[in-house]
Amino acid sequence: MVRGACPHDCPDTCALRITVQDGRAVKVQGDPDHPPTHGALCTKVSRYAERTYHAERVLTPLKRVGAKGVGSFVPVSWDEALRDIAGRLRAIAARDPQAIVPYSYAGTMGLVQGESMAARFFNKLGASRLDRTICSSAGGEALVATYGAKIGMHVEHYARSKLILVWGSNSIASNLHFWTFAQEAKRSGAKLICIDPRKTETADKCHQHIGLLPGTDGALALGIMHELIVNDWLDHDYIARHTEGWMKLRERALGWPPERAAATCGIGADEVRSLARDYGTIRPAAIRLNYGMQRVRGGGNAARLVAILPCLVGAWRDAAGGMLLSSSGWFNSVRNDSGLQRPDLLGARRPRIINMSTIGDDLLRESDAQLPDRARFGPKIEALLVYNSNPVAVAPESPKVVQGFRREDLFTVVLEHFLTDTADHADYVLPATTQLEHLDVHLSYGHTYAMMNEAAIAPLGQARSNAQIFRDLARHMGFDEPCFADSDEELARCALHHNVDFAALRERGWVKLTLPDAPFADGGFATPSRKCIIDSPQFGVPDHVPNYESAESSPELARSYPLAMISPPARNFLNSTFVNVKSLRDIEGKPVLEMHVNDALARGIVSGQRVRIFNQRGSTQCTAVVSPRARPGVVNGLGIWWRKLGVDGTNVNEVTHQRLTDIGRAPSFYDCLVEVAPLPDTLPRHTAA
């Protein structure tokens, strides 16, 4: 048995036990001793061995021979690939290293196989820096502005809550191990309320579902505050001692009676009233906020408003009350990012920053060296090195992303397990190891344990770990600082400060941080004043910020494209990962669009029919499912399919846009108007019984 950690971008970061027989991983199970994992894995990760031994794994370096996007490659040796890549990068760097851009996200959340040797490599090179905003930076920066860090409740304590608001989270699909604690609370009599435009499988299991319009959570929070004020359900002592700026927000909230909030949210005023009564009167009251609610223009403001709620009612006084959006900030004092990433290798250089969420536009931009400094983009992007991400499938507004990746004058290297939509556009694909084949150290954004992942098996074929590939590239570039020789094990040892006992981490597989049970019972937020910041010096007093695209904010656009589309994850995929694992794809079937019966009827659409989703940016085809999971006016396009495994070689990001959130420069995937039309002659055929 080998101890591992799940590498995926998920709050749960499960502890794994891998059974190896004759050098082959035969079983991947959850560690029964690790409290949050509790011996259980999701369906996807229990199939991890199937993914690792998949017949289509890329196991040798590949060089492109066909057109970009077609996916025709020939195998080449590591030496040939590395020499050619280093030569190409050296030539570009000689003109301006900022023309080289790293593109990575959380394909693995590991500290070693994420930004360690890779960061050292790009720092030394002086490449563009990447603003990694594609997922959580709106809510994350909102939390930092409010609490001073991304910190909150311990997940285990939800088991004792009496009220749980599951807010913008399909926990059963994407935060299963929190859900186990919520179920325990439910069995002990807690009330569970789900706040989500989609009636998810999680909503089905809650006592109440509030199906608001996407991007209206700020208005709902203000409506709740109105009721807390007028019914005097406030904890005046907590507010006075542990918050800053309440009087200004109080005044704003008084302008949001339930009727106004309800009209904005597209729900009933009684729903706002009863939600506020529950929140104002049931103790302990806990909120599990998740990132689904911040993928809209006003996501940052909305997250701030929700984060303020537990202070207003003093919910933090109890360990089983408060809120959790992310726990990652609890690790700030243990992670050694600068040791791992070596920003000192930049010297005095401060390369430009490219936002990963606007890669579509940025790949299509020309150099504009003649413009004044402030407006400058800098050099045209000439090379992209992609690892731990599949941008052609996951980045917004894919018509532009694809056009960018197809540029003949762009040199693209992709480190991957599979020929993804992105890898299909590469000049070189380099075979990377999976979590079973390499060493890593993990932290979590849903619990408070540091985790170890040992290599369970030898790398398959010629696969190399990301850290190894960047070590090899550094050697070919002639980078001779000793830090470029650090092994994966040395990187793992360097990932955490000495306040975490590395030997104990290795021995046990995980180490829990020492933290107070009720972290803000007596204030003590991570802000300079130790108070919760309501009136932020940077962002002011939070407000409801309407979507970019909605009947409220863009009535003209809404006449042509009257349906709001959200595109949350399909349960059996992890973003675009696992879409090519057949047993999981079989469960999901095909790309679907859930529609309310009224919206379907109005368009002559029936369940099972192929439809076209379109707007001014593009169009994508999928199968309509007329379903109570969709509310009127909102359609749910479950993601994120590989384009080439979809219906017409595209996916939902064909229609999403690149405009950024109010806080955190993040994409607004769920702030998107579309129209849907049936495709002729695509009714499902019924064979006579």
Ligand X SMILES: Nc1nc2c(c(=O)[nH]1)N[C@H]1C(S)=C(S)[C@@H](COP(=O)(O)OP(=O)(O)OC[C@H]3O[C@@H](n4cnc5c(=O)[nH]c(N)nc54)[C@H](O)[C@@H]3O)O[C@H]1N2
Given a contact cutoff of 8 angstroms between Cβ atoms, the answer to whether 573 and 579 are in contact is yes
* Residue 280 beta carbon to ligand X: minimum distance, rounded to whole angstroms: 20
Choose among ligand X, Mo ion, none what residue 621 binds, the Cβ cut-off being 5 to 8 Å by kind: none
* Residue 388 beta carbon to Mo ion: minimum distance, rounded to whole angstroms: 12
443 binds Mo ion (CB under 5 A): no
Q: Which residue has the tokens 């807390």?
A: 228
Alpha-carbon distances of 206 from 109, 166, 193, 216, 339, rounded to whole Å: 30, 9, 6, 21, 45
The dihedral region occupied by 132, where left means phi > 0, alpha psi between -120 and 50, and beta the remainder, is beta
- Binding track, positions 441-470, relative to ligand X; x by CB under 6 A: -------------------------x----
Choose among Mo ion, ligand X, none what residue 200 binds, the Cβ cut-off being 5 to 8 Å by kind: ligand X
Work out whether strand 610-614 and strand 673-678 pair parallel, antiparallel, or are unpaired. antiparallel
Q: Site residues for ligand X, window 107-166 (CB under 6 A)?
A: 107-108, 113, 134-136
Helices (H), 188-313: 201-204, 217-230, 236-242, 246-253, 258-265, 269-281, 299-312
Question: Which tokens is 217 given?
Answer: 């959570």
In this complex, which beta carbon is closest to ligand X, that of residue 135 or of residue 511? 135
- Binding track, positions 2-21, relative to ligand X; x by CB under 6 A: -------xx-----------
* Residue 266 beta carbon to Mo ion: minimum distance, rounded to whole angstroms: 26
Reduce the DSSP state of residue 162 to 3 states and report it: coil
3-state helix, strand, coil in the chain (%, to 5): 35, 20, 45
* Residue 359 beta carbon to ligand X: minimum distance, rounded to whole angstroms: 11
Distance CA 136, CA 140 (A): 6
Q: Which of 324, 340, 415, 474 forms a contact with ligand X (CB under 6 A)? A: 415
Q: Which of 30, 292, 360, 446 forms a contact with ligand X (CB under 6 A)? A: 292
By CB atoms closer than 10 A (0-12, 13-18, 19+), residue 531 is buried
- Binding track, positions 193-232, relative to ligand X; x by CB under 6 A: --xxxx-x-------------xx-x---------------
* Residue 270 beta carbon to ligand X: minimum distance, rounded to whole angstroms: 19
388 binds ligand X (CB under 6 A): yes
Distance CA 459, CA 624 (A): 42
394 binds ligand X (CB under 6 A): yes
Q: Which residues on adjacent β-strands are paired with residue 637? A: 593
Reduce the DSSP state of residue 296 to 3 states and report it: coil
135 binds Mo ion (CB under 5 A): yes
Choose among ligand X, Mo ion, none what residue 390 binds, the Cβ cut-off being 5 to 8 Å by kind: ligand X
In this complex, which beta carbon is closest to ligand X, that of residue 12 or of residue 318? 12
* Residue 524 beta carbon to ligand X: minimum distance, rounded to whole angstroms: 26
Distance CA 670, CA 568 (A): 8
In this complex, which beta carbon is closest to ligand X, that of residue 200 or of residue 536? 200
Phi, psi angle pair for 286, to nearest 5°: -125, 145
Q: Site residues for ligand X, window 50-89 (CB under 6 A)?
A: none
Q: Enumerate binding residues for ligand X (CB under 6 A).
A: 9-10, 105-108, 113, 134-136, 167-170, 173-174, 195-198, 200, 214-215, 217, 290-293, 296, 387-390, 394, 415-418, 420, 432, 466, 566-569, 571, 573-577, 639-640, 652-653, 656, 669-670
